[in-house]
Amino acid sequence: MHYLALTFPGGLTITPPNGVPRGGLSYLQTVFRNALAIIVVLGIFLLVIYLVWGGIQWITSGGDKAKVAAARNKLTWAIVGFIVILLSFFILNVIGYLFKVNLLQFP
């Protein structure tokens, strides 16, 4: 594994002091995995809230066609968001397979 470092002509390499993270590809992969985990958890949390909100809005609509349509629209977009989350997992699996990197291994 190669770490990122500053190299000058003549072979002089500057490395960070001890205790400072040096980064590298494994570090970038860890950052990407953590960001992906946070985004997925946040997306699922918002999906559940949006589904519950749309369901409550539908129940409390009282038969008003405009309120039912608004609730149906909210539920439809929540389901579309769920499909987008599933498609993102599929796309990340394909990209990981092509580049031989496991992007979905959460910490």
pLDDT per residue as tens digits for the range 65-98: 999 999 999 999 999 999 998 898 888 888 888 8
Tell which residue, 54, 46, 47, 53, has the closest CA to residue 72.
54
CB hemisphere CA count around 40 (13 angstroms) = 17
* Helix, strand, coil in percent for the chain, rounding step 5: 65, 5, 30
DSSP assignment letter at 104: T
- What single DSSP character describes residue 6? E
- Cβ burial of 54 (10 Å; 0-12, 13-18, 19+) is buried
pTM passes above 0.75: no
| pLDDT of 2 above 50 | no
